[in-house]
Amino acid sequence: MLIVLEGALELDFDTSKLSFVGKTILIAIIPVVVISFSLAYAIQFFTEVEFKSALLNAIPFAIISSAIAIPSVQNLRSENREFVTYESSVSDIFGVLLFNFLLEKKIMNVKTLGLFFGEIVMILIVTFFATIMLAFLLSRIKHPVKFAPIILMIVLIFAVSELYHLPALIFILLFGLFIGNLNQLKQSVIVKKLHTKSFKKEIKKFKELTMELTFLIRTLFFLVFGFLIETNELFNSETLIWSISITAGIFLLRALILKVFKINLLPLMFISPRGLVTILLYLSVPVAMSISIINDSLIIQVIILTSLALMLGMWTSKPVTSKEEEDKGKSNDQQEVSLEN
């Protein structure tokens, strides 16, 4: 939740970027579908399990980890950072939606699909009212302790949405986009009442606090994850062929999709790590639907291999210089002044 919120707060969005966002959403969703179904068919072929069980076990491997991808691209150009943030966030959201849909719906028919889309509409309605309420509280609370209650309310809305099986990550993504792009929404009647100099300062403080909390959570997770890794699982030869094949398939498909959508392959082709969401979904598979070949060793090996590929991709990239960042900051300031005028 915090990782998606942090990424969404950093995104600049306006009507000129609609085609870019639409393209990025497609690039995020297509691999999740293709990898999930392809791997599910392969699992079913070699193990002869039910297709639903195979698909449920395959989905964790198809989702990009925003916990790894977003912080790894901070030194890339702004367009690459935005692409990775949108892509990994949408991949997380869509992957979790698909996984929960398969896990909760025992019968697949038109009625269950209708309920699924109804849940999406419901979370959009919740997002609209919750975002306005939270933004209003953020602008009106004068007490020194204000950010902790706001974050706790976000967690509460997220938890209640999850309790009723609503896609709560959509709320987090849209809330972050709204708060982080008030300048572009300044002409709106609601935003006009919120958009003050003091409120912009509060938004900046909220972003900084979110970044620190996200860093803490992310660090603790990977520390515990590294502590729990056992050497015999890491070098398990029985799953090595599977892990190499899955990793190769991930990057071959990614290269093909980027080529089709006419996006530069380097360094984006290598930025497709698996991590936090992969582990959480793997642990959420019911024991009755678990498959012996999908085990701890395979999960760890795929995460390590995709992370090594990410490291290789970062070596091939040209980091943004401080002068380029300064020029970008000046252009953003000029844009903000023109919007205020």
Contacts of 43 (CB under 8 A, 6+ apart): 49, 54, 57, 58, 291, 293, 294
Distance, in Å, from the CA atom of 282 to the CA atom of 293, rounded to the nearest integer, reads 12
Residue 197 pLDDT level (bands cut at 50, 70, 90): low
Higher pLDDT, 244 or 161: 244
Reduced to 3 states, what is the DSSP secondary structure of residue 196? Answer: coil
Interval 136-159: pLDDT, tens: 777 777 777 777 788 888 888 888
Are 10 and 180 contacting, i.e. CB atoms less than 8 angstroms apart? yes
Whole-prediction pTM value? 0.79
How many domains does the chain divide into?
Answer: 1
Q: What angle do CA 251, 74, 17 make, to 5 degrees?
A: 80
Alpha helices in the chain, H assignment, sequence order: 2-9, 18-47, 51-62, 66-72, 78-104, 110-140, 147-163, 168-180, 189-194, 197-228, 231-234, 237-260, 276-284, 296-316, 322-340
**pLDDT tens digits, 287-306:** 888 898 898 899 999 999 99
Name the token pair of 114.
């209708």
> Is residue 199 within a helix (H) or strand (E), and if so which, with residue range?
helix 197-228
132: domain CATH number is 1.20.1530.20
Residue range of the domain that includes 97: 2-340
Looking at residue 150, its pLDDT comes to 80
- Average pLDDT on 14-20 reads 77
pLDDT at 318 over 90: no
